[in-house]
Amino acid sequence: MLHMEQTIINVKNVRINDSFWNNRIRNAVETAIPYQWRVLNDNEPGAEPSHAAMNYKIAAGVEKGEFHGFRFQDSDLAKWIEAASFSLIYRQDPEVERELEEIIDLIGKAQQPDGYLDTYYILKKPEAKWKEIAQGHELYVTGHLLEAAVARYLVSGDDKLLKIMEKNVDLIRSLFGHGEGKIDSYPGHEEIELALMKAYFATGDRKYFELANYFIENRGTTIGFLDDESFKEFAETNKHHQADYYQAHAPIRQQDAADGHAVRAMYFFTGAADVALEKKDPSLVAALEKLWKHTVGRRMYLTGGVGSQGVGERFTIDYDLPNDVCYTETCAAIGLAMWSLRMLRLSPEAKYADVMERALYNNVISGVSQDGQHYFYVNPLAVKPDVAHYRADHASVEPSRVKWFGCACCPPNVVRTLCGLGGYVYTQEGDDVYQHLYIGNEASLSCSGGPFSLTCESEMPWEGAARITYRGAAGARLHLRVPSYAKNFTVKKNGQPVCCTVTNGYALPEGALSDGDTLEVSFEMDAHFVAANPRVTEDCGKVAVQRGPLVYCAEQVDNFEYLNSFRADLKYPIGMEQSELFGGIRVLTVTGMRSDAAAWDADELYRDYAPGSMGETPATLRMVPYFLWNNRGEGEMTVWINA
């Protein structure tokens, strides 16, 4: 069902205050944002040179030199601006404000008189502006800069960057479209679509929606994109860079699966969902629902990762989900979370929130270390470091997080997600507020009765318990998500059990909410084994372990070498213990047997099997949440274990 009366909640109106997330957000605000500023300005020893800020200085005429980096290098700085803007929700930092003003002034000086803004083409290939739409990333860069401008405007009210980007968007509107003399095409890398919709929701200016709608509806219909020389250059020599790589093989309503580059697909579907909401278009919603079902039902990892192949950073075929060479880019999981949020705006169904939560608690925060200064681009589900270091087919897999990347889309992306996490907790439709995540927060909202606030105190993800206090005008209705893993879900109102009507996985307590009311949510979260569809070849005969939203993994540091020698005995329950690791976590234990390599001669490669001949001994496998792996040094890791 398409919901029509959405209120887009300003991210600054939901401030996270949560025992699990506070340290991660604080680390992002106090450590990662200053660290990334130094990296982007080439002032961090040991980090891959970025040159992103310098490119703007050269384009602005305040420094001399040449462009350095990928053609989309500007977008790294744009995502930092967005993250830094969101960080001001949590700490008013004069130094960050100064840096934001400095870089925004620089962007304004780099902008050309007609509104053009892309340092790669300004400095390196001015003759090729708007001639390499498939590979050029000009519209992608615009999208990230526009998102940054909206974030700055929403948090601080400062519209300086928004005005710069409005001029850039006006230029694009004058160039792209149907008709003689127009470029009738669409971006090679989607991003501008969702950014335009953010600008539309923030300003109400229809021109942003109209351009987003043009790009969404035009995709896969216009031959111009396929005639682009930069498209043909890749397509003629690489089977992984055909039209489906760009989601350009068919109009969205005719697409049956998430194909091609995973980040592009997630951003495309995110923008399309926003357009569908504004247009109230049932056919576009139906297309997105079909694509959603196929993506999460056949092409998503247990951790919420998507995009299994490194070549092309892309989806492959159904059920092709290898663990040790999977790509599962951090940015793609962030894209899946963004798409999930948009699907919740279209129709608040708990299945969308389940996936959003899965991605955020696993694949997304795996992308950043506990110190906030080391990052994963790729998030595998199994690692044997010596193999990863040597084998060519593991070339994209890093056994340890690194300080930065030449292609550094993920580090600022994960930090902007952490600082903007408040935007994922609720959606609102008129007087109906849907709480999707039990993350501690303080929210300031409004309903027909007037302004009200919600204060949520939560014990997630370690325990299924949250307490929500309502203050302010009566009139709002709070729908509480019942997670798919929750058992014995109950709600108390002002300390007394209350009946709830459950619709699409959301529990609505009976009776109106009034000033001072409290709702207590509780449910059990059992640690349990998960099996994969037998069509997933790599996971046949294996199980994974999950508790609540957290997927667990085994690391060599807690166990032994050759983790794959362990076999779980499923008749034993999973054990759980409180650990002081990482400031306090739940560690799980699995009972089984392991083959002892010491019982084999090093030169004895094979042996006739007989019961008891493999050197098997009883063993216990200790498991920690997947997002924490590789914070204690390099070693083996696996999510799926033999059973």
Q: How far apart are CA 7 and CA 431, in angstroms?
A: 9
Residue among 18, 8, 11, 6 nearest 422 (CA): 11
Q: What are phi and psi of 167, to 5 degrees?
A: -65, -40
User: Exposure of 1 by Cβ count < 10 A (0-12 exposed, 13-18 middle, 19+ buried)?
Assistant: exposed
Residue at token pair 């997927």: 551
Catalytic positions, please?
Answer: 313, 409
Q: Residue 210 in 3-state DSSP? A: helix
Which runs of consecutive H residues, i.e. helices, occur in 299-419?
330-346, 350-359, 365-366, 385-390, 410-419
Q: How far is CA 97 from the centre of its chain?
A: 26
CA angle centred on 55, ends 54 and 56, rounded to 5°? 90
* DSSP symbols for 521-556: EEEE---EEE---TT-GGGTTEEEEEETTEEEEEEG
Count the neighbouring beta carbons within 10 Å of the beta carbon of residue 401: 20
DSSP letters, 236-271, are TT-GGGSGGGGT-SS-GGG--S--SBHHHHHHHHHH
CA dihedral over 8, 354, 368, 457, signed as positive or negative = positive
Tell me if the bond preceding 461 is cis, omega within 30° of 0: yes
Name residues whose C-beta falls within 8 Å of residue 523's C-beta, 6 or more positions apart in sequence: 464, 465, 482, 483, 486, 487, 488, 489, 490
Q: What six digits make up the tokens of 502?
A: 């459950």
